[in-house]
Structure 1
Amino acid sequence: MSVLPRIDPMLATPGRLPPPASDDRYAYEVKQDGQRVIAYLPGDGTVLLRARSGADITPAYPELAALGQVLGGRPAVLDGEIVALDEAGRSDFERLQARMGLAGAPAKAARMARTVPAHLMLFDVMFLDGTGLTRAPYTERREALTALRLAGPAWSTPAAITGHGTQALDMSRKAGLEGLIAKRLTSPYAAGVRSRAWIKIRNVRTADVIVGGWVPARGHLTGLPGALLMGQRDPDGTLRYVGSVGTGWNDTERTTLAQLLTTAATDTCPFTDTPPVTGARWVQPRLVAEIRYTTRTRAGRLRHPSWHRLRPDLAPDDIT
């Protein structure tokens, strides 16, 4: 059995497609909508799955246990995304949420695996057969990953194409996918770094925000949130107010949010500047959400925001 190096995931920078003159210098992969994971295969038949935070989430996904046997005695460290697929074969984060957070409840995880199966989409290899590959270019790592032929009942290696970014993005949009990741062919694996060598291109503009407060709804929704007050971290660590969101959720989500907001209640406004909102109630800035929006104002506020989802897989310190 090999002692494997601990490797933090390389992160993509939000942006746009590379310019046409640089198009053939990038590979394009479908952006999966799931939980990022680093898979450690020491070569003894076992597998260890670590989330982006570094937490061991192996017990939450028992259907991935067999991955530890597919390479035999070859030790490896792989990068990928755990997803739950909808009826059309697209990753569906809402479905996956039923599987997340079950690392401490293996019996429940096993039951959920039968009704909401998870699938691991693999897209990089950083260590193989005793050799570190993080300094190797993307093309070399991708060739090594493809040669492993990792295709099984609960894992696969989706294709990547070189160039043709505009066409790939258009196809992803028509297929109802979230977008693309553009990866520079010559780029090494920058562990733990949000790198511009990987560009995250979304078909819908979204932003991860920290919930710092809320405004109660009126009428028959009294006691439930009518709007959430959103923030993002400035470089100095303070929380900057970026607007409020009050549309896009269903009754179940609104009720869940009410419970979480009550638990996180505080008397202190967490924002640098108190938002100009009447009747605001403050919460500890620990809930992370993803918001859809059109553009930003000059002050950095999100225009026409609508609720998308909670992000329990992200920590507030990750949001800028």
Structure 2
Amino acid sequence: MALPLISPMLATPGGLPPAAQDAQWAYETKQDGQRTVVYLAGDGSVVLRARSGEDITAAYPELAALGPALGDTPAVLDGEVLALDADGRADFQSLQSRMGLAHAPGRAARKAARAPVHLALFDVLHLAGSELLGEPYRRRRAALESLGLAGPFWSTPGALVGHGEEALRATREHGLEGLVCKRLDSRYEPGIRSRAWIKIRNTRGVDVVVGGWQPGKGRLTGLPGSLLLGQFDGAGRLRYVGNVGTGWSEAERVELAALLRRYASDAAPFDPVPPVPPAAGVRWVLPRLVGEVRHSTRTRAGLLRQPSWLRLRQDLTPEDSAALLPEELR
């Protein structure tokens, strides 16, 4: 049967609902993957569409078996395609090598054979000819769970009703990306970033050493647009861990600019030197400034994902912050 095209509902960044309302919300684990609406026509076929509406079916051939698994029941499901590491956590860096293969089915098939993805399903929008968008979340969730969709490359992860603080704490303890809070009475709002769904991203604070900077443009001319960050390994080498370009007030940028000029250097302090293109206009500094940044996770190469500047740590010297790099990344 013909199925309606549906844009995914989006969550609004925020915090946990008030404790008095806790029992009115469900809590789902948030993992870092590619949002996907799944179209199952009931004839064994599967079509996957990204948040943009692009057909990405060919990028994930291992998910084709979901159609026969559901049988002759037509459905539109909402979920997330994940690349899981050995501990069952989402590894977005691994997934990126699959996301661009919708037009390269041969490469996608070879990668699927070596490292299959996993589809986490968390909502049903259309089922057996009936549209469910206006149904409350609790009923849609019950309908989804009744389908029993658990297979080699897909699952229906559980949702916890109430106990939001415990759920959030568990995601932090297990190194997961965060939590999505969904109001039990919420209808599905296609394409809308709704307050009925709240996403909480776990972030971590870490001390870093500034090794260089890139000038800003426009009103930021002469001020730092981004900083090149490093952490010391056990041998005293400053290892590059990424760039940060957000989190400062205008006054903080001015203060940083003065400090960066004071510590200007002709040589890069990083070992090895990061592969920065000449056009980037990087200016190196002596590794004297210590700051604290917030980030979500690290890549396998040790780079900080989604860093945001928190503060200058004038109470710390680089010597105080020696051996900052995690043991497994040295």
TM-score (norm: length of structure 2): 0.67
Q: Is the contact made by 1:84 and 1:96 (CA closer than 8 Å) also made in structure 2?
A: yes
Give 5+ residue unaligned stretches, structure 2: 206-215, 218-224, 230-239, 248-252, 258-269, 285-303, 313-330
- Give 1:13-52 correspondences, 5 Å limit: 13-52=12-51
CA offsets, 1:257-288, max 9 Å, x none? x57x97xx9xxxxxxxxxxx989xxxxxxxxx
Matched with 2:137 is 138
1:121 corresponds to:
120
1:177 and 2:176 aligned:
yes
TM-score (norm 1): 0.69
Q: Give the 3 Å change call, closer, same or farther, for CA 166–228 of structure 1 in structure 2.
A: closer
How far is 1:98 from its partner? 1.6
Aligned to 2:298: none
Q: Judge conservation of contact 2:245–2:308 (CA < 8 Å) in 1.
A: no
Q: Secondary structure at the match of 2:169?
A: helix
State how 1:189-268 maps to structure 2 within 5 Å.
189-204=188-203, 230=245, 255=275
CA distance in 2, matches of 1:251, 1:183: 45
| 3-state DSSP of counterpart to 2:94 | helix
Aligned length: 247
**Residues 99 and 116 of structure 1 are in contact (CA less than 8 Å); yes or no, is this contact kept in structure 2?**
no
Greater Rg by CA: 2
Counterpart in the other structure of 1:78: 77
CA distance in 2, matches of 1:251, 1:48: 45
Preserved CA contact (<8 Å) 1:95 1:116: no
* Contact 2:245-2:309 at 8 Å conserved across structures: no
Question: What is the CA distance between 1:231 and its match in structure 2?
Answer: 7.4
Secondary structure, in 3 states, of the residue corresponding to 2:99? coil
AA matched with 2:114: T
Distance 1:226 1:124 in 2: 37
- Shifted more, 137-146 versus 106-115: the winner is 106-115
Cα distance in 1, alignment partners of residues 8 and 16 from structure 2: 22
Q: Which runs of 5+ in 1 are unaligned?
A: 218-224, 233-240, 266-276, 280-288, 298-320
Give a deviation string over 1:120-150, Cα, whole Å, max 9, x none: 0000000000100011000000000000000
> Kindly, what percent of the aligned residue pairs are identical?
55
2:172 alignment partner, SS class = helix
Distance (whole Å) between structure 2 residues aligned to residue 215 and residue 166 of structure 1: 35
Q: 1:293 aligns with which of 304, 308, 313?
A: 308
Measure how far apart 1:293 and its partner are.
2.7
Corresponding residue number in structure 2 for 1:310: none
Distance 1:227 1:37, change over 3 A: closer
Counting only pairs closer than 5 Å after superposition, residues 79-118 of structure 1 correspond to structure 2 as 79-118=78-117
Q: Assess, with a 3 A threshold, how the Cα gap between structure 1 residues 231 and 145 changes in structure 2: closer, same or farther.
A: same
CA distance in 1, matches of 2:227, 2:100: 28
Distance 1:178 1:226, change over 3 A: closer
